[in-house]
Structure 1
């Protein structure tokens, strides 16, 4: 039963989080229409030494060329758009810092639109390398760089960009921003920091009366799982079931209840999931049957397996047929155990299921069937306790008054460890009974002669 519970507790193995951690970053939209392009100066603080610098104006001719490049790209002629940018770049020495930054910014967006993430990152890095640019452009570009580095699975660089961005904005992080930090730390295998950030994101969201996003909870669950905190994983799973109620979350919650030794809750959740039609995989259905067995509800286990095998949801193999039979036997429904056991014996090359049939028929007092299947079990072999079949054979023959054959069977059973003591006791009992029957026969014979 200990091994069974290990199996049940691990009904679910958490899937990798990669699909949620590598979502396409949401980059800035084109800023041609934004005030940042207005041909005027803006007073900002220089990033490296915090001294104030004046942002130079965007000259109209540069603006016009950048707008033309954008228009060509939007129309689907990306090569022409890049060609215009190259023309602007050819006069790089004539551009001021703001104009250079916007040139690199356009390159970055166009490379990104062309799925060239490496060159997009290189272009955006040139943007933030310029000193005299607006804070809004600097901060937005750093955040986009962090998202792109995440997409490239360069998590050290992601954290570097995020740290620079956070230092620059000097504001409390919003939940979505906390999650980006958490994702980067998680992928960098710093699960404690990942947990800290995503916990803050979830808490802030709930305090604001909002539902935490599903992928935040999945990340939170993954971090707790890596930190080996099963009770916290369970709490997150309860929240996922309550808020998002997907079939897999019910099964995973059941698995965590098993992991945290809350077996009653585990069974309740699995049974609810089954009734809702959420259990569709063979492993899930067999897992529920095993849970029924563990909780001493064997008839439900047998009925579930029988129905599932009939529908094809569970394969009718030796293992599942035998489990069905064991469940019926445990429910004291021996007659119903016969059919699945016979199916199992037809599939198996060993004699273990024949042995189960022999024992079942013995319990049902169908002596000849018990003798027949004990014999076939011994013939097929590979039994765990061969001596038991000699005992079954002997007991069945005794009940058929085949005393001499019963004694032979018990003598054979004595040769096996674990059977010797019982075989000796039965041999003595059979000898006494045989003697008693002889004496009784002699008395009856004497009485008949006296008449």
Structure 2
């Protein structure tokens, strides 16, 4: 809580106006009644109570808070206004000491008789809302704020925002939207937090398209805010509107708005999803080289897959092998070997395929079949035949391996090679 201002004895004797504590639903102020209350005759404390209250606040100004509280607690005024005033100050002093349970108790007691002057009654009702929200009594805090709005007729965007936040904390997400909208409407300058509360509520309600609509508004209102762009790009990815997502993320990228690794990943994913994998690959590769994306196994594998999708076979094989080296991943070595075979880099393919087999790949049949092919195209028929025979041990490649074994045997015989 914020610390209270220092009081002077004179300030305590200043006129105060009265009010009414309402438990009505969301803001239904009676403006005629409000004007009457504002125009009501000013009340002041009785002389006896006023002098003692002034002494108490002299102690407060000397930083003797406990002594000031004790003096105020000893008072037992018979007049409702005097009693409400004493309770009001006790509530404020307890809030100063961060004893919020006592602060709430005395603040409620000060409000209850509807005896204070208009401004002070209103300020106290608002303080009660702040105290309740600050102590996570969200439902009570919301009611206190609504009562304050009914009483004063004021439309404070900060209070609407706190009500929206209270509903969010209560997980009453459907109730967040109206006060958030009221906070937006009552604000002289746009406040991002109110829009973000709406987005959060819509996401928790699984109303993703509505969250996207709010994101689109934020980009227009806060065009220089990097997060408005990158957030919207992520929303489009989640709602599978890949074309719009790519447009937004490309703008954010060009403007230098990327702040997190995930932003580069989203852009790469969107390029891939709209079938522009080469741009996904080069963007991802640059981000890794620039340190924007960490060089981990998962990230290098993703880069390899983008090059693979783009049919840049050598680059894909290179990065699959790099990813494999992180923890001797047999399957990634096998994938690199298969791509090198496809690219007619037979000697290189043999090395990677043998590495996959050495590390115990689960796809032994495929690895031996690819290995046989790589040997075959180097005219190494003995090695090719040995590999294809082993491929027959795997039920998944047995039929193919048997036919290939006969083919290799015939070719070797024609070349005069004994198997």
TM range (shorter): 0.7 to 0.9
**Take 1:138 and 1:113, find their aligned partners in 2: how far apart are those partners?**
19
Checking the alignment, whether the CA contact within 8 Å between 1:27 and 1:144 is kept in structure 2 is: no
Checking the alignment, whether the CA contact within 8 Å between 1:44 and 1:54 is kept in structure 2 is: no
Checking the alignment, whether the CA contact within 8 Å between 2:57 and 2:68 is kept in structure 1 is: no
1:278 pairs with 2:257: yes
Any idea what SS the aligned residue of 1:37 has? coil
**Take 1:190 and 1:430, find their aligned partners in 2: how far apart are those partners?**
71
**Take 1:357 and 1:331, find their aligned partners in 2: how far apart are those partners?**
15
Shift of the 36–273 alpha-carbon distance from structure 1 to 2, 3 Å rule, reads farther
- In structure 2, the residue matched to 1:263 is 242
- In structure 2, the residue matched to 1:415 is 393
Question: What is the CA deviation profile of residues 118-154 of structure 1, one whole-angstrom value per residue up to 9, with x for unaligned ones?
Answer: 2221221121133433343333322210111000001
Any idea what SS the aligned residue of 1:132 has? coil
Task: Return the offset for 1:168.
Answer: 3.8
Any idea what SS the aligned residue of 1:101 has? helix
1:196 pairs with 2:174: no
1:66 pairs with 2:53: yes
- In structure 2, the residue matched to 1:237 is 215
- In structure 1, the residue matched to 2:337 is 358
**Take 2:342 and 2:323, find their aligned partners in 1: how far apart are those partners?**
19
**TM-score normalised according to structure 2 size:** 0.81
Task: Return the offset for 1:174.
Answer: 4.6
Task: Return the offset for 1:173.
Answer: 4.4
Task: Return the offset for 1:111.
Answer: 2.3
Checking the alignment, whether the CA contact within 8 Å between 1:98 and 1:133 is kept in structure 2 is: yes
Checking the alignment, whether the CA contact within 8 Å between 2:69 and 2:93 is kept in structure 1 is: no
**Take 2:349 and 2:299, find their aligned partners in 1: how far apart are those partners?**
23
Task: Return the offset for 1:190.
Answer: 1.9
- In structure 1, the residue matched to 2:349 is 370
Instruction: Mark the runs of 5 or more structure 1 residues left unpaired by the alignment.
Output: 1-23, 440-451
1:382 pairs with 2:369: no
**Take 2:20 and 2:413, find their aligned partners in 1: how far apart are those partners?**
113
Instruction: Mark the runs of 5 or more structure 2 residues left unpaired by the alignment.
Output: 24-32
1:38 pairs with 2:37: no
Checking the alignment, whether the CA contact within 8 Å between 1:25 and 1:151 is kept in structure 2 is: no
**Take 2:276 and 2:22, find their aligned partners in 1: how far apart are those partners?**
69
- In structure 1, the residue matched to 2:67 is 83
1:219 pairs with 2:197: yes
Moved more, 192-201 or 174-183: 174-183
Any idea what SS the aligned residue of 1:78 has? coil
- In structure 2, the residue matched to 1:162 is 145
**Residue number among 271, 291, 294 corresponding to 1:312 in the alignment:** 291
- In structure 1, the residue matched to 2:26 is none
Moved more, 347-356 or 213-222: 347-356
**Take 2:141 and 2:7, find their aligned partners in 1: how far apart are those partners?**
22
> May I ask how many residue pairs the two structures share in their alignment?
402
Checking the alignment, whether the CA contact within 8 Å between 2:22 and 2:150 is kept in structure 1 is: no
**Take 1:197 and 1:25, find their aligned partners in 2: how far apart are those partners?**
24
Shift of the 186–172 alpha-carbon distance from structure 1 to 2, 3 Å rule, reads same
CA RMSD of aligned residues (A): 3.6
Shift of the 174–43 alpha-carbon distance from structure 1 to 2, 3 Å rule, reads closer
- In structure 1, the residue matched to 2:384 is 406
Any idea what SS the aligned residue of 2:176 has? helix
**Take 1:321 and 1:88, find their aligned partners in 2: how far apart are those partners?**
70
Checking the alignment, whether the CA contact within 8 Å between 1:55 and 1:98 is kept in structure 2 is: no
1:127 pairs with 2:110: yes
Task: Return the offset for 1:338.
Answer: 4.8
- In structure 2, the residue matched to 1:114 is 97
Task: Return the offset for 1:104.
Answer: 1.6
Task: Return the offset for 1:160.
Answer: 3.4
**Take 1:99 and 1:119, find their aligned partners in 2: how far apart are those partners?**
19
Task: Return the offset for 1:262.
Answer: 0.6
- In structure 2, the residue matched to 1:21 is none
Task: Return the offset for 1:67.
Answer: 4.0
Task: Return the offset for 1:289.
Answer: 2.6
Task: Return the offset for 1:55.
Answer: 7.7
**TM-score normalised according to structure 1 size:** 0.76
Shift of the 380–47 alpha-carbon distance from structure 1 to 2, 3 Å rule, reads closer
Moved more, 187-196 or 331-340: 331-340
Checking the alignment, whether the CA contact within 8 Å between 1:374 and 1:389 is kept in structure 2 is: yes
- In structure 2, the residue matched to 1:20 is none
Checking the alignment, whether the CA contact within 8 Å between 2:85 and 2:116 is kept in structure 1 is: no
